[in-house]
């Protein structure tokens, strides 16, 4: 999966027939109802991604995965995940049919509940699908929720989301989530590593984001990122790099209101744009997206 569309598609998630969502859009995971074919799809995805990620995903991701009841043989049971997560960082995983409306999503996160799609992609969509499924949400997001800094940052995003809606700057906040929790890179002793779930759950992007000469890799800056559009339909043209996960904790202590104001008053940036003040790990040559347009 390359990405999941964000605000553009919210509210479209139709509950699976015969399984009405509750007011908070949660449903029963229905773990007993997964077919052998669905568990097999999970296994295919799990095995190829687990082979790829050592040396690419950050240490915290690998450790989180180790400490959780997530394995190749079956789609994880959200109750078992929640038992472990709750003890570590106070988070739970709840099942939803797919994308949920923004305010519903924020309300869950603000209460340390991570809404995870209960369905799994079909065998012909292994590399790309639009809605977040159980592989993206559980394999990509849940290991990172074992980390205390990510745990607090995502909760703060939920709280901030409710506020950003009132202030009319939800797009600016959503870009911060996108370029951190979904597509973030961080600096490790031995080079850049993946911590974003959109990358960690993507076979193709977990190689592209680190190895391709095409994208920019830019030192993360909150206001800069708030101004930057992102792609939901293809690899990112720019990735933003944080120092370490604790940098995210600093953001939970910052008042976003003045940053929103400055971001709203400044020129919006296209995904591939660079600014003179950017600190670059790599200036991308743009070759990938240029070839796609041609």
Give contact residues for ligand HBI (rule: CB under 6 A). Answer: 4, 6-7, 10, 96, 99-100, 102, 105, 115, 132, 174, 177
Which CB sits closer to ligand HBI, 65 or 109?
109
Shortest reach from residue 4's CB to ligand HBI, in Å: 6
- Tokens describing residue 76: 């994880």
CB of 285 to ligand HBI, least distance (A): 31
Interface with Fe ion in residues 154-213 (CB under 5 A): 197
Could you say which of ligand HBI, Fe ion, none residue 231 binds, taking C-beta under 5 to 8 angstroms by partner kind?
none
Do the beta carbons of residue 46 and residue 71 sit within 8 Å? yes
Rounded CA separation 98/70 (Å): 20
Please report how close the Cβ of residue 53 comes to Fe ion at its closest, in angstroms: 17
Give me the least distance between CB of 92 and Fe ion, in Å please. 16
CA atoms in the 13 A half-sphere facing the CB of 158: 18
Strand partners, 217: 239, 282
Task: Name the nearest CA neighbour of 114 among 89, 135, 141, 133.
Answer: 141
Angle (CA) 83 89 91, round 5°: 60
The residue (of 132 and 143) whose beta carbon lies closer to ligand HBI is: 132
Q: State which residue, 91 or 177, has the beta carbon closest to ligand HBI.
A: 177
Tell me whether residue 147 or residue 284 sits nearer to Fe ion (CB atom): 147
Residue closer to ligand HBI, measured from CB, 7 or 207: 7
Q: Is 230 exposed, middle or buried (0-12, 13-18, 19+ CB in 10 A)?
A: buried
CB of 217 to ligand HBI, least distance (A): 23
In the chain, at which residue ranges do the beta strands (DSSP E only) sit?
A: 92-96, 113-117, 185-188, 191-194, 216-219, 238-242, 280-282
Q: CB under 5 to 8 A by kind: which of Fe ion, ligand HBI, none does 10 bind?
A: ligand HBI
């Amino acid at each position: 999966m390359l990405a999941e569309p964000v605000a553009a598609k919210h509210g479209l998630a139709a509950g699976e027939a015969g399984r009405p969502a509750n007011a908070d859009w949660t449903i029963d995971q229905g773990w007993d109802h997964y077919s052998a074919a669905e568990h097999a799809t999970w296994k295919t995805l799990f095995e190829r991604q687990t082979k790829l990620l050592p040396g690419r995903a950050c240490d915290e991701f690998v450790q989180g995965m180790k400490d959780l009841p997530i394995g190749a043989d079956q789609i994880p049971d959200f109750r078992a995940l929640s038992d472990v997560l709750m003890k570590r960082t106070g988070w739970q995983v709840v099942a939803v049919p797919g994308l949920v409306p923004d305010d519903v999503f924020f309300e869950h996160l603000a209460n340390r509940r991570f809404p995870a799609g209960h369905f799994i992609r079909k065998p012909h969509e292994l590399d790309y699908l639009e809605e977040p499924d159980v592989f993206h949400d559980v394999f990509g997001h849940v290991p990172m929720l074992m980390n205390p800094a990510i745990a607090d940052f995502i909760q703060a995003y939920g709280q901030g989301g409710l506020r950003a809606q009132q202030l009319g700057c939800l797009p600016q906040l959503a870009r911060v989530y996108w370029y951190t929790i979904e597509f973030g890179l961080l600096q490790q002793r031995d080079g850049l590593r993946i911590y974003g779930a959109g990358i960690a759950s993507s076979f193709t992007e977990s190689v592209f984001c680190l190895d391709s000469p095409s994208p920019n890799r830019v030192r993360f800056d909150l206001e800069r990122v708030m101004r930057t559009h992102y792609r939901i339909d293809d690899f990112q043209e720019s990735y933003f790099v944080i120092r370490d996960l604790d940098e995210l904790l600093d953001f939970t202590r910052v008042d976003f209101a003045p940053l929103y104001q400055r971001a709203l008053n400044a020129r919006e940036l296209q995904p591939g744009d660079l600014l003179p003040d950017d600190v670059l790990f790599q200036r991308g040559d743009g070759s990938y997206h240029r070839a796609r347009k041609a």
